[in-house]
Amino acid sequence: MSNLAGKVAIVTGAARGIGQAIALRLAADGADLALADLKTEWLDDTAAKVRALGRRAECFAVDVASSESVNAGVAAIVAAFGQVDILVNNAGITRDTLILRMTDADWDAVLDINLKGVFLMTRAVAKPMMRARGGAIVNVASVVGVTGNAGQANYTASKGGVIALTKTTAKELGSRNIRANAVAPGYIHTAMTEKLPEELRAQMVKLVPLARPGEPEDVANVVAFLAGPDAAYVNGQTIHVCGGMVM
């Protein structure tokens, strides 16, 4: 498939996990990749794999929680590629604990990266996308942003916020042919979930009608759909990629 040929895509948190799978899938569909993560060295593996698919990859050190870093990063990306067509806001962290034990720092760190980061990146690409008279933004939320989840006050609030921000972005920028959508993954097999206790993981699989954790590629496939021309009339939506865990 090459329905993204000639497109330039930014993926945040592209070093590993779901972000890496998204970058590789967009490259397989023909896009060139601006890979962003906290340190450029962490992106070497993803960049090598994108190049092995015959696409261009450039690595950028961006802390999505910092407006200076985001603005400088997006300016460097526009300078390197001349355009931005697709933005995938994937960078995210967890700091799980019960509300009673959650510190201000736990709350702020998660909200700054998961929610403010999406806002800062969206604001930074809005102008270049308007200049190009079109674009697609795909935000990585989570099903727990819809359902809530004990032990994740900060994370669920951030992901619920991402879903609402996706809708506002869709409304504000829709007239400029810029679409914004979200994916809400369920339980996906990555480093983020690897650190959960074994029994909790077994319990989570029991909640999934498809009876398996998702793979990063399962999420990447839906992101590629939302970023591409087949989703030309899909705007402001959140697609759950959770094996039916949340309906």
Partner 1 sequence: MALEDKVVDIIVDKLGVTRDQVKPEASLIEDLGADSIDTVDLVMTFEEEFGESIPDEDSQKLKTVGDIIAYLKSKGKE
Ligand X SMILES: NC(=O)c1ccc[n+]([C@@H]2O[C@H](COP(=O)([O-])OP(=O)(O)OC[C@H]3O[C@@H](n4cnc5c(N)ncnc54)[C@H](O)[C@@H]3O)[C@@H](O)[C@H]2O)c1
Interface with ligand X by CB under 6 A: which residues?
A: 12-13, 15-19, 37-38, 62-65, 90-93, 113, 140, 142, 185, 187-188, 190-193
Question: Could you please report the per-residue DSSP string of 133-177?
Answer: T-EEEEEE--THHHH--TTBHHHHHHHHHHHHHHHHHHHHHGGGT
Q: Which residues bind partner 1 (CB under 8 A)?
A: 127, 130, 172-173, 175-176
User: Which entry of partner 1, ligand X, none binds 190, CB below 5 to 8 A by partner kind?
Assistant: ligand X
The conformational region for residue 133 under phi > 0 = left, psi -120 to 50 = alpha, else beta, is left
Give the DSSP letter string of 119-136: HHHHHHHHHHHHHTT-EE
Residue 176 interaction partner, one of partner 1, ligand X, none, beta carbon < 5-8 Å per kind? partner 1
Nearer to ligand X, 16 or 176 (CB): 16
CB of 145 to partner 1, least distance (A): 27
The nearest distance, CB 244 to ligand X, in angstroms, is 15
Q: How far apart are CA 88 and CA 180, in angstroms?
A: 10
Query: Whose CA is closest to 223, among 2, 24, 16?
Result: 24
Strands (E), 13-155: 32-37, 57-61, 86-89, 135-140
Q: Which is nearer to partner 1, 2 or 175 (CB)?
A: 175
CA torsion sign for 168, 170, 175, 178 is: positive
Q: Residue 15: which of partner 1, ligand X, none does it interact with, CB under 5 to 8 A by kind?
A: ligand X
- 187 an active-site residue? no
According to DSSP, the β-strands at 8-12 and 178-185 are unpaired
Q: How far is the CB of 99 from partner 1 (least distance, A)?
A: 38
CB closer to ligand X out of 12 and 235: 12
CB-nearer residue toward ligand X: 93 or 205? 93
Decide: 241 and 186 in contact? Cβ < 8 Å. yes
Best CA proximity match to 167, nearest among 222, 234, 112: 234
Smallest distance from ligand X to CB 135, Å = 20
Q: Which is nearer to partner 1, 142 or 235 (CB)?
A: 235
CB of 13 to ligand X, least distance (A): 3
> Which entry of 60, 81, 119, 155 is annotated as an active-site residue?
155
Give catalytic residue positions.
155
